[in-house]
């Protein structure tokens, strides 16, 4: 009997083996690439112990005031933009709730589709649209000029004020519909009976939202929030890459973009950008544990 | 049980289908078909009447087996199988299909990835520094025996000896690499690609310039005034879109703004990384107050104050600039190739072509012909005997007069024919084939002309090299017949105004053209430390430069410049400047040598 059970165990292990292999290949094997940060790697010359430099690149990131302040600026931008996004992370939830309250089905479908669609447009195209709208000969300036409101075009693209907020607006325009899908799914899972009972007891629509819908969505919200916190440093780079120019780089260069700019320079500096992205992973890990600890204290349950 | 059966039968079907498909696929499917299955050849020729004909013509010389040759080309913009008429020609001549690997299309990381795998391509075209490190790491192979059999070997032996002897790890008498774009003229002669047109010079639409009286321009201030007048006369193009004196773009910026770098040559200095190199071989740092870099920034700033700079400069991308040049929305251009956006023979006849407007205080930095090569080289990246032989045949053709004629001039019979007085003459279709990307007749392989050109995008001899068969350059634009046809209202009126045959002649007479020998030196590559400094300083310089061009007033302009100089110090700028000075000293030395020869 025991033997049969053991065999069964082996068989089941075989079933998950492919997935373990996948994780090993795609999640753990790439970590081997971290080794680049301890060498002076210059392709096409192969690795050799002669090019081992220890923690030189990590030191270099902090070698002088200028480098430190550059790294700090990049970190500031990263945290600021992720922070704004985090502070407004309730927006998709409310969007889903309000969308759910629309009773006219065709209108509801239209709003949802219109809000989700931008998610499928690449950032490169978004920038072309932005340029067509906001360049000096763009649509907005032409319209304002024709209406006689301005006589010199407004230079939107070179304006670097409120850059973080503007970037957040673009991000929200692109992501809001998509991010709310999770909540729409969660809402459809709420027991209809609760609403009926509440209505019999005389609850208004707002009260239903406040006492039934929102509390049912909170667990989803917190899971997503914690995941977002651990992703704080990963705010992507495509958006910032396409929008960056000489006037706004000081505010727009985030960590991922900085790493990208370093590794695609000519000649590329793979080693130092690896070191930088390694630091990033460590900070992300720390943030995840911190958020989880916070969750344990506040909600008395952990997500990991 | 049932499911199992169904699964098995589906699999079997899929297998049969794939087997069928692959047998129909022909040569394209297999790259290693060295044993030349006769079946494959049959399938191919049966599908194409013309190739089967030509194949039977060549049958006397035992037909080579089909082979795919991978070409790793640093300058290529196209990745994939060589298409169109060149594709067909190579297939017919050598039974070879070129598969081009282009880091510019695939991303630079492909270089690291492929070199780590130990194979870049059968043919590799790389920058000098990479050629050197690939020799060290064993990625490219000795090609002495093969290269010595090339038809053009003796013609270029001097340059080949020079180049290969400069490579570390290559013994005397050995040949590993063939420099790109060599010429058979001389190290100090200057043969402009467009006859009579210098590499960089202030160039404006002749009709607009004539309209304001083609005034004498003493300096950049006069140039701005002229641009201003032209822009006031023509605030929009014919379609009604706003036009500007100057339009700039940031896409090509590196350690500094490319649009400024090009113009520093007007005042005899060339930007090389962090330094300015002049025609005499003197070097100063880029941020020198009296250097040409600051002078040109000042020029753009003044121009912007005068309202002649496109306000979208600095945020627009190259595509947007491209359309502006194509529709005459920018009046000042500088590089010779930019004339291609607008100039045609019809517009020339109407007096509308762009042509140089001389500015008296300029002394233009003009590199000579790339006699010794242009900074890259061809090499063989395979050790397989059979492949190596095919690479030999291919490169021999690409460096022979026959090959170069085709590469630079197009298809004989379609693009050009024999001229009655010797040499070649472009056909009417040939003249416009490249510009209009016109369709190519099916007998030559069909497709569009420009798409079908050799997509490797770098040549074993320059277009200005002399074709021994005709005694003229390979470049159709330089043929006597073409130059004769190119004389137009624009050029006639210009000659009348300035009394010289063409802009180059004018500048030479005025002593404003400083030709420096173009030497092909294997410069020391950046160390990782220098690379980090360069990468950190680049954005600082570019950002500050753009802000200076669009500064509110002179005080802001100056203060950004001063701040930039202090900021750069913190990132190790001094170290970078010293490194670059040492690096380019080798170049200066070679120039002196070339002049002494």
pLDDT at A77 over 50: yes
Of A196-210, B59-73, B198-212, B453-467, least confident by mean pLDDT is B59-73
Q: Tell me the pTM.
A: 0.83
CA dist B330 and B323 (Å) reads 10
- CATH architecture of the domain B48-185+375-410 equals 3-Layer(aba) Sandwich (3.40)
Task: Quickly state the pLDDT bin for B51 (edges 50, 70, 90).
Answer: very low
Work out the minimum CA distance from A136 to partner chain B, whole angstroms.
6
Q: Are B489 and B183 in contact (CB under 8 A)?
A: no
User: How many domains, in total, are found in chain A?
Assistant: 1
| Orientation angle between helical segments A163-188 and A65-87, nearest 10 degrees | 40
In a domain, A261, yes or no: yes
The pLDDT value given to residue B49 = 38
The pLDDT value given to residue A201 = 92
Q: Do A269 and B531 touch (CB under 8 A)?
A: yes
Report the sign of the C-alpha dihedral through residues B139, B181, A269, A258, in that order: negative
Determine how many CB atoms are found less than 10 A away from the CB of residue A114.
Answer: 10
Partners of B64 in beta bridges? none
B444-487 confidence digits (pLDDT tens): 999 999 999 999 999 999 999 999 999 999 999 999 998 888 88
The pLDDT value given to residue B433 = 87
In a domain, A72, yes or no: no
Averaged over A136-151, what is the pLDDT?
A: 88
Averaged over A97-126, what is the pLDDT?
A: 92
In a domain, A241, yes or no: yes
A248-260 confidence digits (pLDDT tens): 989 999 988 888 8
Candidates B115, B310, B550; nearest CB to A158? B550
Is the minimum CB–CB distance between B116 and chain A shorter than 8 Å?
yes
A38-59 confidence digits (pLDDT tens): 988 877 777 777 788 888 888 8
A21-35 confidence digits (pLDDT tens): 999 999 899 888 888
Task: Quickly state the pLDDT bin for B24 (edges 50, 70, 90).
Answer: very low
Residue A232 structural domain? 78-120+164-189+215-299
In a domain, A254, yes or no: yes
Q: Which residues contact B33 (CB under 8 A, 6 or more apart)?
A: B27, B40, B65, B66, B67
Is the minimum CB–CB distance between A54 and chain B shorter than 8 Å?
no
The pLDDT value given to residue A287 = 83
B213-225 confidence digits (pLDDT tens): 999 999 999 999 9
In a domain, A171, yes or no: yes
Work out the minimum CA distance from A127 to partner chain B, whole angstroms.
11
Tell me which residues of chain A, numbers 18 to 47, contact chain B at a CB-CB cutoff of 8 Å.
40-46
CA torsion A102-A104-A110-A113 (nearest 10°) is: 50
- Which CATH number belongs to the domain containing residue A98 in this structure? 1.10.3720.10
Is the minimum CB–CB distance between B371 and chain A shorter than 8 Å?
no
Is the minimum CB–CB distance between B112 and chain A shorter than 8 Å?
yes
Residue of B nearest to A249 (CA): B543
pLDDT at B359 over 90: yes
Chain A environment of B543 (Cβ under 8 Å)? 246-247, 249-250
A156-177 confidence digits (pLDDT tens): 888 888 999 999 999 999 999 9
> What percent of chain A has pLDDT above 70?
98
The 3-class secondary structure across B275-302, one letter per residue, is EEEECCCCEEECCCCCCHHHHHHHHHHH
User: Which of A256, A99, A109 lies closest to A183, judged by CA?
Assistant: A99
Averaged over B27-38, what is the pLDDT?
A: 35
pLDDT at A222 over 90: no
Query: B311: helix, coil or strand?
Result: coil
Question: Does this chain's domain B48-185+375-410 share its CATH topology with B200-369+484-596?
Answer: yes
DSSP per position, A230-262 = HTTT---SHHHHHH--TTTHHHH--HHHHHHHH
B136-171 confidence digits (pLDDT tens): 889 999 999 999 999 999 999 999 999 999 898 899
The pLDDT value given to residue A56 = 87
Q: What is the ipTM of this complex?
A: 0.85
Candidates A45, A245, A270; nearest CB to B315? A245
Q: Are strands B96-101 and B354-356 parallel, antiparallel or unpaired?
A: unpaired
Chain B environment of A272 (Cβ under 8 Å)? 528, 532
Burial B407-446 (b: 16+ CB within 10 A, else e): bbbbbeebbbeebeeebbbbbebbbebeeeeeebeeebbe
Q: Are strands B364-367 and B513-516 parallel, antiparallel or unpaired?
A: parallel
Q: Are B513 and B189 in contact (CB under 8 A)?
A: no
Instruction: Please give the C-alpha separations between residue B582 and each of A38, B523, B526, B589, in angstroms, as whole numbers.
Output: 28, 10, 12, 11
Tell me which residues of chain A, numbers 186 to 245, contact chain B at a CB-CB cutoff of 8 Å.
245
In a domain, A257, yes or no: yes
The pLDDT value given to residue A304 = 55
B228-275 confidence digits (pLDDT tens): 999 999 999 999 899 999 999 998 888 899 999 999 999 999 999 999
Work out the minimum CA distance from B143 to partner chain A, whole angstroms.
20
In a domain, A287, yes or no: yes
- CATH architecture of the domain B200-369+484-596 equals 3-Layer(aba) Sandwich (3.40)
B394-440 confidence digits (pLDDT tens): 999 999 999 999 999 999 999 999 998 888 999 988 888 888 889 99
Task: Quickly state the pLDDT bin for A225 (edges 50, 70, 90).
Answer: confident
Is the minimum CB–CB distance between B136 and chain A shorter than 8 Å?
yes
Residue of A nearest to B570 (CA): A66
> What percent of chain B has pLDDT above 70?
89
Q: Are B303 and B245 in contact (CB under 8 A)?
A: yes
Respond yes or no on whether the N-terminal peptide bond of residue B27 is cis (omega within 30° of 0): no
On average, the pLDDT of chain B sits at 87
Domains of chain B, residue spans:
48-185+375-410, 200-369+484-596
The pLDDT value given to residue A155 = 86
A253-296 confidence digits (pLDDT tens): 998 888 888 877 766 778 888 888 888 888 888 887 887 888 78
């Amino acid at each position: 009997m025991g033997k049969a059970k053991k065999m069964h165990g082996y068989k089941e292990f075989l079933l998950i083996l492919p997935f373990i292999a996948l994780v090993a290949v795609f999640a753990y094997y790439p970590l081997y690439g971290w080794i680049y940060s301890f060498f002076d790697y210059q392709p096409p010359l192969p690795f050799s112990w002669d090019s081992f430099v220890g923690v030189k690149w990590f030191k270099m990131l902090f070698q002088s005031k200028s480098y430190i302040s550059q790294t700090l600026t990049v970190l500031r931008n990263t945290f600021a933009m992720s922070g704004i996004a985090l502070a407004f992370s309730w927006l998709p939830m409310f969007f889903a709730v309000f969308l759910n309250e629309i009773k006219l089905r065709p209108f509801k479908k239209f709003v949802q589709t219109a809000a989700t669609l931008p998610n499928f447009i690449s950032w490169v195209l978004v920038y072309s649209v932005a340029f067509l709208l906001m360049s000096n000969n763009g649509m907005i300036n032409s319209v304002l000029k024709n209406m006689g409101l301005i006589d010199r075009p407004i230079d939107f693209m070179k304006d670097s004020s409120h850059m973080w907020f503007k970037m957040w607006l673009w991000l929200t325009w692109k992501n809001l519909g998509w991010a709310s899908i999770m909540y729409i799914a969660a809402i459809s899972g709420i027991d209809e009976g609760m609403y009926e009972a509440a209505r019999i007891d005389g609850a208004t629509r707002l009260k239903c939202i406040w006492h039934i819908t929102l509390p049912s969505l909170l667990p989803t919200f917190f899971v997503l929030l914690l995941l977002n916190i651990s992703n704080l440093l990963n705010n992507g780079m495509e958006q910032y890459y396409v929008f960056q120019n000489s006037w706004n780089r000081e505010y727009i260069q985030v960590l991922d973009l900085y790493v990208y700019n370093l590794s695609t320079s000519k000649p590329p500096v793979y080693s130092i950008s690896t070191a930088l992205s390694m630091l990033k992973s460590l900070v992300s890990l720390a943030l995840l544990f911190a958020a989880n600890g916070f969750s344990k204290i506040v909600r008395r349950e952990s997500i990991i | 049980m049932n499911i199992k059966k169904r699964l098995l039968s589906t699999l079997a079907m899929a297998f049969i289908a794939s087997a069928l498909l692959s047998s129909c696929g022909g040569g394209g499917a297999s790259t290693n078909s060295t044993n030349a299955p006769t079946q494959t050849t049959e399938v191919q020729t049966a599908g194409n009447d013309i190739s089967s004909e030509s194949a039977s013509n060549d049958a006397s010389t035992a037909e080579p087996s089909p082979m795919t040759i991978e070409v790793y080309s640093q300058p290529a913009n196209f990745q994939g199988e060589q298409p169109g008429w060149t594709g067909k020609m190579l297939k017919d001549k050598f039974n070879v299909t070129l598969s081009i690997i282009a880091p510019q299309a695939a991303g630079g990381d492909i270089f690291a990835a492929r070199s780590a795998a130990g194979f870049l391509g059968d043919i590799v075209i790389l920058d000098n520094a990479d050629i050197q490190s690939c020799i060290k790491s064993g990625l490219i192979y000795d090609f002495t025996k093969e290269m010595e059999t090339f038809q053009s070997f003796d013609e270029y032996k001097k340059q080949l000896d020079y180049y290969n002897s400069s490579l570390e790890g290559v013994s005397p008498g050995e040949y590993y690499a063939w420099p790109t774009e060599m010429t058979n003229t001389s190290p100090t002669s200057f043969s402009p690609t467009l006859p009579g047109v210098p590499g960089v010079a202030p160039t404006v639409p002749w009709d607009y310039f004539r309209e304001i009286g083609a005034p004498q321009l003493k300096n950049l201030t006069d140039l701005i005034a002229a641009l201003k007048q032209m822009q006031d006369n023509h605030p929009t193009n014919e379609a009604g879109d706003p036009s500007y004196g100057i339009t700039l773009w940031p896409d090509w910026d590196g350690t500094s703004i490319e649009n400024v770098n090009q113009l520093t040559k007007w005042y005899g200095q060339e930007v090389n990384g962090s330094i300015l190199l002049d025609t005499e071989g003197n070097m100063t740092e880029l941020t020198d107050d009296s250097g040409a870099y600051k002078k040109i920034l000042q020029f753009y700033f003044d121009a912007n104050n005068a309202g002649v700079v496109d306000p979208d400069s600095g945020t627009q991308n190259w595509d947007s600039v491209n359309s502006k040049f194509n529709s005459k929305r920018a009046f000042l251009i500088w590089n010779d190739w930019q004339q291609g956006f607008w100039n045609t023979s019809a517009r020339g006849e109407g007096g509308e072509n762009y042509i140089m407007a001389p500015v008296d205080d300029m002394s233009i930095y003009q590199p000579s012909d790339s006699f010794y090569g242009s900074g890259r080289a061809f090499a063989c990246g395979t050790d397989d005997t059979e492949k190596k032989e095919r690479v030999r045949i291919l490169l021999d053709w690409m460096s022979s007069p026959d090959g170069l004629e085709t590469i630079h001039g197009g298809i004989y019979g379609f693009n050009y024919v024999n001229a009655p007085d010797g040499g070649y003459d472009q056909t009417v279709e040939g003249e416009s084939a490249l510009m209009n990307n016109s369709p190519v007749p099916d007998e030559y392989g069909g497709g569009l002309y420009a798409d079908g050109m050799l997509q490797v995008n770098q040549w074993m001899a320059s277009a200005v090299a002399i074709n021994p068969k005709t005694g003229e350059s390979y470049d159709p634009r330089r043929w006597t017949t073409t130059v004769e046809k190119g004389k137009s209202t624009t050029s006639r009126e210009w000659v009348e105004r300035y009394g010289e045959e063409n802009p180059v002649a004018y500048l030479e007479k005025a002593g404003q053209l400083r030709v420096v020998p173009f030497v092909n030196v294997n410069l020391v590559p950046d160390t990782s430390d220098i690379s980090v400094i360069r990468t950190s300083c680049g954005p600082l310089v570019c950002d500050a430069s753009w802000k200076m061009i669009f500064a509110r007033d002179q005080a802001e302009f100056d203060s950004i410049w001063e701040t930039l100089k202090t900021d750069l110090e913190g990132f190790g700028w001094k170290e970078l400047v010293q490194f670059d000075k040492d690096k380019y000293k080798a170049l200066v030395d070679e120039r002196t040598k070339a002049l002494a020869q």
